[in-house]
Chains A and B, each alone.
Chain A
């Protein structure tokens, strides 16, 4: 019988937070967040399949301030997970494991994902303005 009282990994709370560990857990957190985004995408597509009324209800929900807040969070989660995912693919090819590169690529990931998030929303609002 397995002893469930023994310590099990990962011990997030016993280590001093560092840029490497914070970005690492953020990758997981954004990944789980994106799973929720996938459910919302399914609801959105299904509402369009149901017809104009259902789609209209979904659009009202998504266009509310709360809906926009959630979508903004999903946008950042996607760009962060994507950028840090590219960083992961670099590690998979044994590139970028040394501390200086870990720090610089980490900083690039944070700046790029924030920029792409803001840029996307500016473009979206710009597009609405044109309508």
Chain B
């Protein structure tokens, strides 16, 4: 069964025109009369579709165009070219009917008023989004439960810790039960526990409401835990769109093999014949071995050396992503 995608981007582009100016008084004076401009192609022809209920990781280094794309999807930026449609709406028209069905969370921005308890701001959202009283109570109770907010929402927001603040922020934008969630670095700056909490919650929200989630994060743990599919962009262009496992396979043709020795092996012993040595101690060697050669090489290792333990790992997602970006620089 195929359904129409809820999010559709086709050759989407965003170009910023900025005024170029060199340092110095003379340049400043000259720029009064003659302004030179330069085009920055923040998003340079990106196409992808998202089905309802998907959680997709949107990855790329700083300045890749992730936030610009999310802003175009939520109607905060007008595209320079291409087509974008979400739930059948063109986001840049900012129709109220559209805005009522989406939410954008930016990890570094606050939507709640700092000076007052979150619950007072929630009441305003209830009125603005015209959420029926019963539904509002039910959703709020649910969010309080899932995000453990009972003690937090009655304190002024500025008195909360970063992690607590993110939780009340997220609850605030979900009160109207948006069908589409754009999350821009929702876990930025949070400690590991707080990150996990937000992560678990996103999974639960997605599961409960069949909501579609597009998420950017610099923490690969977020991506690994939540996203089966990732979209990687760099310099405003799409590099990869597919399963996370495929990304690892495609961009990392090597596996990491860790061999622990049962007895000390002299550092002079030849290891390069098995693969490239990543790390070497008398008790252990870490090798990077081409995937195709892993099976043969491990049997040699087991036959030749006093092995007590042998593990085969995929390289970390961070390492893969880094490789992807480096390869395209």
The answer to whether A and B assemble together is no
